[in-house]
Structure 1
Amino acid sequence: MSLSQKLAARAEAGNPVRVGVIGAGKFGSMFLSQGPRTPGLHVAGIADLDPERARQAVARIGWPAERSSARSLAEAMRTGATFITEDAAALTAGDGIDVIVEATGNPGVGIRHALHAFAHGKHVVMVNVEADALAGPLLARRAAEAGVLYSFAYGDQPALIAELVDWARTAGFHVVCAGKGTKYLPVYHASTPDTVWRHYGFSEEQVAGGDFNPQMFNSFLDGTKSALEMAAVANACGLDPAPDGLAFPPCGVDDLPGVLRPREDGGILSRSGTVEVVSSLERDGRPVFRDLRWGVYVTFEAPSDYVRRCFAEYGLKTDSTGRYSAMYKPYHLIGLELGLSVASVVVRGEPTGTTRGFSGDVVATAKRDLSAGERLDGEGGHTVYGRLMPAADSLRAGGLPIGLAHDLVLTRPVAAGRPVSWDDVAFDPDRPAIRFRREMEALFRGEAGG
């Protein structure tokens, strides 16, 4: 049966998939808007540091008041309503919850929630790509040890890219490159929360009239979010980042096969089997023709002359040789599609993408010349952005992951464009997120014989 049929059967049997959601921000709200419309799926609990914000969120997306009126998780289980709480630990430990959706966006908090969920036998759908890029390889091992699943969030780009990679490999194709589109110019790496709206073209009136977080929006613009997502894809799909990180070539959908192929064949890739993000802007700021700003792609290679002829016979766009082609999805629907992960994890026992190794890492990189004594302000801030690196290079250099580059003080200067290392900052090794990340680094360094 299909996923929807399996869910419908559970609904008829009175045994819906019971979900706990942590974080009622934009992604969480988009999922919550669709949850009640999906037979066989019951959002039993929502945890948010500000329960009133969560109540306002569900009211804004159209929930009737009685849907979120449960006074306890047990009551929610009996009545089919939803319990809203500030206690995420109680939700992850709650009897009857099948799967936890972690949608906070805070990497340290995400690690804590995931480990607590594993300890209580709960599957985790990790919306929090910041947590996955920071420690996903070790989180995935902890989930396996606990006998539960750790999954990417369908609707977010890493899960959709992993799906395309799986499609290509299952069909017998070699994956040359996989990734997504975004709006990018080199100057954006230096963008700060003070300049972000100018780059987006938002007026003061637009910003004042909406719920806009400048640091969050800036993390998308300065390249950090793209680096985090491509690290997640690399670690899930066994792909390797280029030695110099992401190049963000301007490229429309028709040019994917020609641009995203190895250099020896006329493309821009240093090697086959990598990840890359394409820009919707030419370097002079002009829009790319038929851009892929909101979408995802995979490029793959014909293994024989026969398959190359098939590409031509069935109208595939290829490079000039006919050897390389691409498949892409032009849009992603964020939390509106998240139910596919929830259903797949529980009724099929399959994640929609999951971390399997440690081939990509995202290292904090100075946006300007930084001085000793300066305090780093993390993802999307004024001081650093995240650069994708091969994990082996990051481990050798002692790179400071962007997910921990918040509220740490520099002990020595770092020049603009240079990665920040653990040796450049003062840190508390007993802080839980730092301790977990350092454990992961030691584990993979040991397995690599370093």
Structure 2
Amino acid sequence: MARSAEFVERHPMTPSPTGTASQDRTVGYALTGACGGFARTLLATTRRTDGVRPTVLCDRDTEGVHALARSLGHGADELVTAGTPEEVAEITRSGRIAVVGEIDLLAGADYDILVEATGSPAAGHRAARRALLDGRHVAMVSKEVDSVAGVALATLAADRGLVYTPAEGDQPANLILWYERLSGLGLEILALGKSGEYDLVYDPEAGTVTQLGTTLPAPGLGALLRLGDDVPATLAARAEAVAGLKRSAAADHCEMAVVASATGFTADTPALRYPVARVSELADVYAHREHGGVRDRDGVLDVFSVLRLPEEASFAGGVFAVVRTHDDETWETLRAKGHLVSRDGRYGCLYLPFHAMGVETPATLRRAVREGAGVSSRPPRQHAVLAGRAATDLPAGTTLTLHGHHHEVTGVAPVLHAVDEVPADTAPFYLAAGSRLARDVAEGTLLTLDDLDRPDPELLAAWRAGRSLPRA
């Protein structure tokens, strides 16, 4: 649907999808998953941000959207629920915000860019594809969609002169931008990664470790606060000390799959390493194995579990890059200024200790609409497969249901493989999620496309299209 004359009049800087936009234009966005935690941080931020505003909010819980908006200070007359495309068009033309319960109703709205945050692989893909076909840019928050269909959606966007991009505020976009910045400086990047969602906070007085709301005795950690000369041995001992805590998450693997598409980096172990490490140790931990670290090769993606004391600052879900140091004097100067350099001087670690969810996302919306650019300088390709390995015997007829904040699947472990490491018919994790099994799957087996009984056809087609493109 073309933008209405009224919208263009209210937002005179609105460009055509392929045009060059003014740097002071107002960006109108549509938001799916408008009742989620990410949605709140974005709506709260753009409530106070000039030049970026919501036009239409989509969530099945329309009453919840109204309640959220009221809690952020929106007046009762600012948001209006619509049930038809015509009503959506009328509401948005009047300058109010339309609230809709179905993705199909987005077609009636005037907006520049869709922020897709449902977390649903099938619904999120449908929303993003529809937006691109309607001539809108897409900022993807649903990493579940991105890990399956991101390559195909980015190709569709490029063919139509539009932007499809991960959204800043979540770790994939932040890490891709960090990679772009550091590689643009000529630094030789050897490893990329992020911290796990929640820190491990060790209380030396109580001899306990706390992760989010769970506290366990861990008296042995007190003797393991220093890395020691044998890095792998220290890491193994720390892992044993916190073995009662679940530190891995499907969301972590999914985020690294998105980063793999943009950078070509892949995991050097499918389950990811999750070393329990203090931030100051990262350059030593991610040294090559022959230099005492954990890496088997260069070009590695990984996730680490932050170990810190109660009074120490959190890494806050931040991102890092490990680089090779080439000039000793330069890096000794940086070490003296507090930068992380390995004990042998071979490696440095540069990091951003935060990800602020929707607080950062307006930067993506402005860049996409005003500049026609995403967070990556090159088109994504399917360098990795986020697959699922049966953690137990799974009988035919089992429904692989998503559950929990981190979108796990009961009985299926997420694993991240380079595409050349697995058969071509390996099923992506978030295509399998929500499907029924067509046949028995034995414990330890990677799920394949033939194991799935009628997976979402549009999502399957997108996966196959992205998988078929040549990798640079």
Structure 1 distance, partners of 2:322, 2:37, is: 31
- RMSD after superposition: 3.2
1:233 offset after TM fit, Å? 0.8
Structure of larger gyration radius: 2
Against the structure 1 CA distance between its residues 351 and 427, is the aligned structure 2 distance closer, same or farther, given a 3 Å change threshold?
same
Structure 2 distance, partners of 1:362, 1:439, is: 16
**270, 278, 300: which is aligned to 2:323?**
300
Gaps of 5+ in 2: 1-10, 15-21, 200-209, 216-245
Structure 2 distance, partners of 1:288, 1:301, is: 31
1:176 aligns with 2:190: yes
Partner of 2:338: 315
SS in 1 for 2:408: coil
Structure 1 distance, partners of 2:24, 2:96, is: 14
SS in 1 for 2:183: helix
1:408 aligns with 2:422: no
Partner of 1:54: 65
Instruction: For 1:19-418, list aligned pairs within 5 A.
Output: 19-24=29-34, 25-69=36-80, 72-91=87-106, 93-94=107-108, 96-182=110-196, 201=213, 222-280=248-306, 292=315, 294-353=317-376, 356-378=380-402, 379-396=407-424, 398-415=426-443, 417-418=444-445
Against the structure 1 CA distance between its residues 360 and 184, is the aligned structure 2 distance closer, same or farther, given a 3 Å change threshold?
farther
Against the structure 1 CA distance between its residues 413 and 234, is the aligned structure 2 distance closer, same or farther, given a 3 Å change threshold?
closer
Bigger mean CA offset, 57-66 vs 222-231: 57-66
Structure 2 distance, partners of 1:349, 1:237, is: 20
Structure 1 distance, partners of 2:270, 2:409, is: 23
The one-letter code of the counterpart of 1:327 is: L
1:274 offset after TM fit, Å? 1.4
Against the structure 1 CA distance between its residues 409 and 253, is the aligned structure 2 distance closer, same or farther, given a 3 Å change threshold?
same
Q: Could you list the per-position Cα deviations for residues 27-70 of structure 1 after superposition, in whole angstroms to 9, with x for gaps in the alignment?
A: 11221112121111121111222322221222233322122148
1:263 offset after TM fit, Å? 1.4
1:280 offset after TM fit, Å? 2.7
Check whether the contact 1:318–1:326 (CA below 8 A) recurs between aligned residues.
yes
SS in 2 for 1:412: coil
Check whether the contact 1:180–1:293 (CA below 8 A) recurs between aligned residues.
no
Check whether the contact 1:18–1:41 (CA below 8 A) recurs between aligned residues.
yes
Partner of 2:26: 16
The one-letter code of the counterpart of 2:446 is: P
Check whether the contact 1:234–1:274 (CA below 8 A) recurs between aligned residues.
no
What's the TM-score once normalised by structure 1's chain length? 0.81
Structure 1 distance, partners of 2:408, 2:23, is: 47
Check whether the contact 1:243–1:390 (CA below 8 A) recurs between aligned residues.
no
1:408 offset after TM fit, Å? 1.3
Structure 2 distance, partners of 1:253, 1:66, is: 48
Structure 1 distance, partners of 2:396, 2:247, is: 27
SS in 2 for 1:375: coil
Question: Which structure shows the bigger proportion of residues in helix conformation?
Answer: 1
Structure 2 distance, partners of 1:61, 1:389, is: 42
Structure 1 distance, partners of 2:295, 2:312, is: 21
1:397 offset after TM fit, Å? 6.1
SS in 1 for 2:266: coil
The one-letter code of the counterpart of 2:79 is: S
- Give me the identity figure in percent: 27
The one-letter code of the counterpart of 1:82 is: I
Structure 1 distance, partners of 2:70, 2:186, is: 47
Structure 1 distance, partners of 2:358, 2:471, is: 37
Check whether the contact 2:287–2:295 (CA below 8 A) recurs between aligned residues.
yes
**446, 449, 462: which is aligned to 1:419?**
446
1:166 offset after TM fit, Å? 1.4
Q: Could you list the per-position Cα deviations for residues 142-167 of structure 1 after superposition, in whole angstroms to 9, with x for gaps in the alignment?
A: 11111100111111111111121112
Structure 2 distance, partners of 1:173, 1:202, is: 40
SS in 2 for 1:398: coil
Structure 1 distance, partners of 2:471, 2:372, is: 31
What's the TM-score once normalised by structure 2's chain length? 0.77
1:313 offset after TM fit, Å? 4.8
Check whether the contact 2:318–2:353 (CA below 8 A) recurs between aligned residues.
yes
Bigger mean CA offset, 316-325 vs 47-56: 47-56
Against the structure 1 CA distance between its residues 89 and 320, is the aligned structure 2 distance closer, same or farther, given a 3 Å change threshold?
same
1:21 offset after TM fit, Å? 0.9
Task: Report how many aligned residue pairs link the two structures.
Answer: 405
1:183 offset after TM fit, Å? 5.6
